[in-house]
A and B are shown apart, each in its own frame.
Chain A
Amino acid sequence: MLLRLIVGLLFVAMFSFAAAAKETTATIIYDDVTTEVNRAADAGGQLWITTADLKRATRFEVKPQGVCRDELCFPLTKGRKEEFLRHESGASWFNLTAFAQLVQQPVAHDEALATWYFGLRADQRQGLASLRAPDFTLPDMAGTMHSLSDFRGKKVFLVTWASW
C-alpha cells in the first residue's frame, strides 16, 4: 500500500512540469516551419507547450478522437492521456516531445538556444517503402512554387545538385 502510494507520488512528480520547470520561451521548427512560443516548459528534456501554441506551431489540435490535423489523427490511449495533456496555470498544456515519440518523429534540441527541431513523422516516411515518390513543393528562382505531383502522367528525372 505504502509502496503504491510512493509510486503514485513519483508518477505525479514526473509529469507535474510546473514543479520541475518554470515557464520560458522556445523556438519550435515543425515541418521546417519556425514558430516562436512565449509559454513553454522544458521538464527533464520534455517540451510542454500550450494547446493554443500546438495549433500555431504544428497545426495539430487536440480533439476527442485524438491529436488531429486535417484527415490525419493520432489517438491517445485513455490510460496514457496524462503523459500528453495537463491543465495547469490557467492553460491546457501538451507534451510535444512525448507526442513525437508516439508518432516516431526524431527530435533534435539545442538547450542553450531553447530550439527544438521535429523531423519527419513515420506517416511522412511511408512513401519510400511503398515505392511512391514522396511529394514536395519548392520554389523556383522567381519564387513560383512547384510540386512533384504537378508532373503526374509524365516521366520525371529528379536530380539534386549543390553549389558547394
Chain B
Amino acid sequence: MPGWQAIYQQLKDKNFEIISVAQDTNGVKDAGKWITDAHPTYTALIDEKHLVSKLYNMVNVPTGVWIDEKGRIVRPNEVAFVDDRFKNYTGMDSAPYLGALKDWAEKGDKSVYVMSEAKLRDKLAVNDPDILLAAAEFGLGEQLYKSGHLQEAIPHFKEAQRLNPKSWNYKRQAYALSDAKRDYGTTFVDEVQKSGGSKVYYARPDLPAEVSPPEKKQ
C-alpha cells in the first residue's frame, strides 16, 4: 500500500485517481492496520462482501482495472503488483505493468496500453452459470460465517471453489477464515503446486510485446 501512495503522488496531477478496495470478509478488523500504516491520500475502501470481485469477475488479488474518464473499462482484470516483493515467488517483474499504468495516466486514450473494444469484450464476457452460482455460494458462506456458523459456511465455500476453480479469492479467503488443512484438506501452498507452481499461479499481464521496456544489455 505505501507503494501505491508513491505512485499516486507521482500521477495525481494527471487527472488520475487510485481506488484500492480491500477484499476482506472481516473488513477493517483484518485490513485496517495495513491502510492506517500506509497513510493513503488516494481512496482506500473496505469491501467485506467482495462486491468488486463479484461485479468485475475478479479471481485473485491484487487485481487492477483501468477505467477512463467516461466510466468505461479500458484494461480489464490483471495482476497488479506495486513492487517486487513477491518477484522471487511469482517470477514476475512489476515494472512493465507499472510503466504501462504511468503511460496511460499521461496519455489517456492515446496510450498503446488501452485495449481494443473487441479484445476487451473477449476478456470480459462471462455468462457462465457455474461462475454466477459460485459467487452466490461464496456470498452465502460469508454470511453464515459472519453470523457465527463457520461449520455450516464451509460446504458453501467448497461449492464456490468447485464451481469456479479459477478463483483464488474463494480459496484464499476461505482458508484464512479457518484451518485449511483441517477444513479443506489442503493448503494454499499445495494448491499453488497443483496449479503448476508459483511461477504460473498469476497470469501475466497481457501487455503489447513491442512496447515493453527493452531488455538491458549485459
Report which A residues bind B (CB closer than 8 A).
27, 29, 32, 34, 106-110, 112-113, 115-120, 124-125, 127-129, 131-136, 138-141, 146, 148-149, 151-164
- List 17 interface pairs A-B (beta carbons < 8 Å), by A numbering: A32-B49, A106-B129, A117-B137, A128-B57, A131-B124, A132-B71, A138-B52, A146-B43, A146-B45, A154-B17, A155-B14, A155-B69, A157-B101, A159-B63, A160-B53, A162-B31, A162-B172
Is B132 part of the contact surface with A, judged by Cβ < 8 Å?
yes
> Which listed residue, A128, A159, A160, touches B126 by the CB 8 Å rule?
A128
Most A CB atoms within 10 A — which of B20, B21, B63? B21
Contact between B16 and A160, CB atoms less than 8 A apart: no
How far is A146 from B18 in the complex, measured between Cα atoms in Å? 12
Range of interface residues on chain B? 35 or more
Q: Are the C-beta atoms of A136 and B52 separated by less than 8 Å?
A: yes
The distance from the CB of A147 to the nearest CB of chain B, in whole angstroms, is 10
B192 on interface, CB distance cutoff 8 Å = no
Q: How far is the CA of A138 from the CA of B120 in the complex (A)?
A: 26
- Please provide the chain B residues from 4 to 47 with a CB less than 8 Å away from any CB of chain A in the complex: 4, 14-24, 28, 30-32, 34-36, 43-47
B19 and A156 contacting across the interface, CB-CB below 8 Å: yes
B202: CB under 8 A from chain A? no
Nearest A residue to B126 via CB reads A128
Q: Is the CB of B70 within 8 A of A152?
A: yes
B183 to chain A, nearest CB (A): 15
Residue contact B19 to A155, C-beta cutoff 8 Å: no
* Cα distance, A116 to B67, chains bound together (Å): 33
Q: How far is the CB of A123 from chain B (nearest CB, A)?
A: 13
Complex CA distance for A141 and B35, rounded to whole angstroms? 8
User: Separation in Å of the B60 CB from the closest CB of chain A?
Assistant: 9
Given known A141-B35, A146-B45, contact A164–B24 (CB-CB < 8 A): yes
Cβ contacts under 8 Å, A129 to chain B: 121, 124-125
A47 to chain B, nearest CB (A): 13
Shortest distance between the CB of B53 and any CB in chain A (Å): 6
User: What B residues does A152 contact at CB under 8 A?
Assistant: 69-71
Query: A110-B156, A160-B21 given as contacts; is B15 within 8 A of A154 (CB)?
Result: yes
Closest beta carbon of chain A to B110's beta carbon, Å? 12
Instruction: Please provide the chain B residues from 137 to 154 with a CB less than 8 Å away from any CB of chain A in the complex.
Output: 137, 139-140, 143-144, 149, 152
Check: B133 CB closer than 8 A to any chain A CB. yes
In angstroms, Cα B68 to Cα A133, docked, is 9
A127 contacts which of B46, B55, B133 (Cβ < 8 Å)?
Answer: B55
Chain A residues in 8 Å Cβ range of B72:
131-133
Is B66 close to A, CB under 8 A?
yes
A130 to chain B, nearest CB (A): 9
**Minimum Cβ distance to chain A for residue B68 (Å):** 6
Closest CB of chain A to B11's CB: distance in Å? Answer: 9
Whether A155 and B108, one on each chain, are in contact in the complex, defined by CB atoms closer than 8 angstroms, is: yes
What residues on B are CB-neighbors of A110 within 8 Å? 140, 144, 152, 156
Residues of A with C-beta under 8 A to B132:
106, 119-120, 125
Known: A119-B135, A146-B43, A153-B69. A34 touches B24 (CB 8 A): no
User: Chain A contacts of B144 at CB under 8 A?
Assistant: 110, 113, 115
